């Protein structure tokens, strides 16, 4: 499937191959023209089911999105854009988690890229030396696929075809995860972030996206929608609370992390993450500084300055890309919201957060952890 800059389906991958299109992205693409043999590729499992998903989604509530022509669609209390909802429905039906799998879960713009890099580096630390790690040449999103994106739309990518891969990620709320995840007993990690910085990171990320669906809403209008819960994968606070409650019910299956605390002191959290994943660092590894090497390799500063993540470079394993790799490495700092939000806006979202989390134990966990 090819997606437009708003994330909506405009042509299936099967049709793409037939038409010999290079790319529908407004940004430069390195996709090559497929051969006639490739053009005869059978429709994917997702494409065979796509009309059914579209017909179902057409019956769901729609509302104005963050661009005038890009609506948000409600599904069980969560807001999606069309293709991601199609991908979610497909994952619910076809993603078969295994006990050995590990999921990186998050809402958008809360530290997902960093956590993907860390989990990949932890699992594969004995497979590569300091100069051959794939993270040096590929963006973390190429190495840890989304079950509602690559798994559905791009089953041809190496990481999906590789049955040895055990790392997957998702922005899907906990209550909408494929049932196979709970049934398999596979573990997952969830990371959340102060909602003020989450919003700013999301709004500035969308600014880097060219779109045929009109200009991005103003910061003030987008902020109001974010506070009211109408954002991609929102309401954000409900997203966090859903995973928090799941963590409380089953702390052996879910590791619950806070972005700000990890940024302040990543070493102990990386050790905890590795142990939780079943890849704990040995005493010998700790003496040799292996933990520090993982932290340094995956640091925001290291990843941001790699050639693969600079300028307008895009991932080459899928036929249409709407953000350069550099878009995933803006600042990564804590408290950047001070440069955008008024005190009144900050007070509004803080009040909503305290009201939503009151009595849940989440804020106390944040202090005591």
CA 367/CA 369 separation, integer angstroms: 6
Distances (CA, A) of 294 to 72, 122, 124, 269: 38, 7, 10, 12
CA 294/CA 53 separation, integer angstroms: 41
> Which string of DSSP letters, residue by residue, matches 156-195?
TSHHHH-TT--EEEE-S-GGGS-HHHHHHT-EEEEEE--H
Element (H, E) at 106: strand 102-106
CA 297/CA 289 separation, integer angstroms: 12
Judge whether 239 counts as a catalytic residue.
no
Catalytic residue among 30, 37, 141, 171: 171
CA 15/CA 11 separation, integer angstroms: 6
Largest CA distance in the chain: 61
> Which string of DSSP letters, residue by residue, matches 59-125?
TS-EEEEEETTEEEEEETTEEE-HHHHHHHHHHHHH----TT-EEEEE-TTSSHHHHHHHHHHHHTT
Q: Which 3 state secondary structure label does DSSP give 350?
A: helix
Element (H, E) at 258: strand 254-258
Catalytic residues: 171
């Amino acid at each position: 499937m090819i997606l437009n800059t708003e994330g909506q389906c405009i042509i299936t991958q099967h049709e793409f191959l037939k038409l010999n299109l290079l790319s529908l992205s407004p940004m430069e693409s390195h996709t090559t023209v497929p051969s006639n043999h490739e053009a005869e590729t059978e429709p994917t499992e997702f494409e065979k089911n796509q009309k059914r998903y579209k017909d179902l989604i057409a019956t769901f509530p729609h509302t104005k999105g963050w661009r005038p022509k890009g609506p948000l669609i409600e599904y069980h209390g969560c807001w999606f854009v069309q293709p991601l909802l199609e991908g979610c429905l497909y994952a619910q039906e076809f993603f078969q988690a295994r006990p050995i799998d590990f999921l990186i879960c998050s809402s958008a713009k809360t530290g997902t890229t960093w956590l993907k890099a860390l989990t990949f580096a932890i699992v594969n630390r004995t497979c590569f030396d300091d100069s051959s790690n794939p993270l040096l040449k590929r963006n973390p999103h190429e190495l840890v696929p989304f079950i509602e994106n690559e798994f559905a739309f791009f089953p041809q990518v190496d990481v999906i075809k590789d049955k040895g891969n055990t790392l997957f990620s998702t922005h899907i709320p906990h209550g909408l995860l494929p049932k196979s995840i709970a049934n398999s007993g596979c573990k997952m990690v969830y990371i959340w972030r102060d909602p003020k910085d989450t919003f700013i990171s999301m709004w500035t990320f969308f600014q880097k996206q060219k779109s045929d669906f009109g200009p991005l809403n103003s910061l003030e209008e987008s902020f109001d929608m974010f506070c009211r819960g109408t954002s991609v994968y929102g309401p954000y606070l409900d997203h966090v609370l859903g995973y928090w409650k799941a963590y409380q019910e089953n702390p052996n299956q879910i590791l619950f992390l806070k972005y700000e605390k990890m940024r302040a002191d990543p070493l102990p959290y990386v050790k905890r993450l590795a142990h939780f994943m079943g890849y704990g660092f040995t005493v010998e590894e700790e003496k040799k500084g292996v933990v520090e090497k993982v932290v340094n390799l995956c640091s925001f500063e290291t990843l941001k300055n790699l050639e693969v993540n600079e300028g307008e470079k895009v991932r080459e394993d899928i036929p249409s890309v709407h953000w350069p790799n550099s878009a995933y490495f803006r600042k990564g700092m804590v408290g950047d919201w001070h440069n955008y939000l008024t005190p009144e806006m900050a007070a509004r979202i803080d009040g909503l957060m305290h009201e939503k989390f009151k009595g849940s134990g989440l804020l106390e966990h944040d202090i005591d952890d």
